Structure 1
Amino acid sequence: MAERPATSWRHGIAEEAEELAAGTLDPEGACMAALYPEGLLAATDAVLDAFEGELPGLGEAGDEQVFAVVERVVLALDAVDDADNGGAFETDEREELCDYIDESLTEHGVDVVALTARHGLGRCRLTDKWRKW
């Protein structure tokens, strides 16, 4: 099962906290908790909860229904990013979120390569139409 980006972000926060506690990381080098405040993590997880709720049966759905689900998750993530003045999701986070969406769709029977090809898109362009982050 695809790992949620916020899960890996939380692991990074925990690892950094352990290193700080052990004295193996200079506090000035610590950045994970500032990059991923709990509000951002919770908001991202809430969006992905809703997305995951729409995945069952999507493998048998038509292209329009699949794209509607992608549009909803991307617009909701846009709102999370906007709430952070557009700074919540940088390059690494964007890639993780896009990979998560793609992997989750694939795990639920959506052939993302065929879907995007039918619409003249490359696989990596699945979210581009709606994505601001």
Structure 2
Amino acid sequence: MAERPTTNWRRCIAQEAAELAAGTLDSDCACFADLFPDELLSATDAVLDTFEAELPALAEGDGEHVFAAVQRVVLALNAVNEAHDECAFETDEREQLCAYIDEALTEQGVDVEALTARRGLGRHELTDQWRDW
């Protein structure tokens, strides 16, 4: 399964905490715990849980079902972002979330490139129609 961005973010938090504890990182340089509070991680994981639960059915579905699932996950992530003052997902996080959605679909047998091309979109425009973050 594609690695969730939240897994990476938690790994960064743990690494930073270990470096702080070891004295190899100045506390003024620590930022991951502030960037990714537990509430944000939990809310994002809840959205991704719902998306992942839909994935098996998408392999059998048509493009409209796939786009509907993408719309639902993106709108739910928009709500998470809104709940965090519109700054939950910065550039790196946006890229990780978009890559995760693409990879998760691809692993289920969805040809994302062909799917987006049928709508006159580039592969990396899969989420753009609904994405506010």
What range is the shorter-chain TM-score in?
Answer: over 0.9
Aligned AA for 2:120?
G
The amino acid that maps onto 2:56 is P
Partner of 1:35: 35
Compute the TM-score of the two structures, normalised by the length of structure 2: 0.99
Give the TM-score of the pair, scaled to structure 1.
0.99
Structure 2 residue matching 1:55: 3-state secondary structure: helix
Describe how 1:1-133 pairs up with structure 2 within 5 A.
1-133=1-133
Q: Deviations over 1:53-76 (max 9, x none)?
A: 000031221111100000000000
How far apart in 2 are the matches of 1:37 and 1:58?
Answer: 31
Q: Name the CA distance, whole Å, in 2 between partners of 1:82 and 1:64.
A: 26
Q: Deviations over 1:21-48 (max 9, x none)?
A: 0000000000000000000000000000
AA matched with 1:125: E
Moved beyond 2 Å, runs of 4+: none
SS at match of 1:56: helix
Matched residue pairs, number? 133
Structure 1: stretches of 5+ with no match in the other structure = none
- CA-based RMSD: 0.5
Cα deviation 1:67-121 (Å, max 9, x = unaligned): 0000000000000000011100000000000000000000001000000001100
In structure 1, C-alpha distance between the alignment counterparts of 2:88 and 2:79, rounded to whole Å: 10
Higher mean displacement: 16-25 or 57-66:
57-66
